[in-house]
Homo-oligomer: A and B are copies of this chain.
């Protein structure tokens, strides 16, 4: 299956911590990746974000899915 999700990144499961109904999974990514973000145009201007800038990608863990091929 091909997905609309722009961020599909291969890695290796490093750690699984199981809770009662949820679990935390940590995946090690070794290779360089490009991460795609959709943000408001207002925030681009507010951060004065330009191509070539150093930037930080921030993702809440509950937004991250895991797949297995």
Contact = CB atoms under 8 A, between A and B. Distances in A.
Interface of A: 1-44, 46-69
Contacts of A50: 13, 16
B27 A57 contact: yes
A30 B31 CA distance: 7
Given A19-B41, A22-B19, A66-B43, A7 B58 contact: yes
A40 B21 contact: yes
Nearest to A56: B67
Contact of A68 (B8, B51, B53, B61): B53
Contacts of A47: 2, 4, 66-68
A33 B58 CA distance: 13
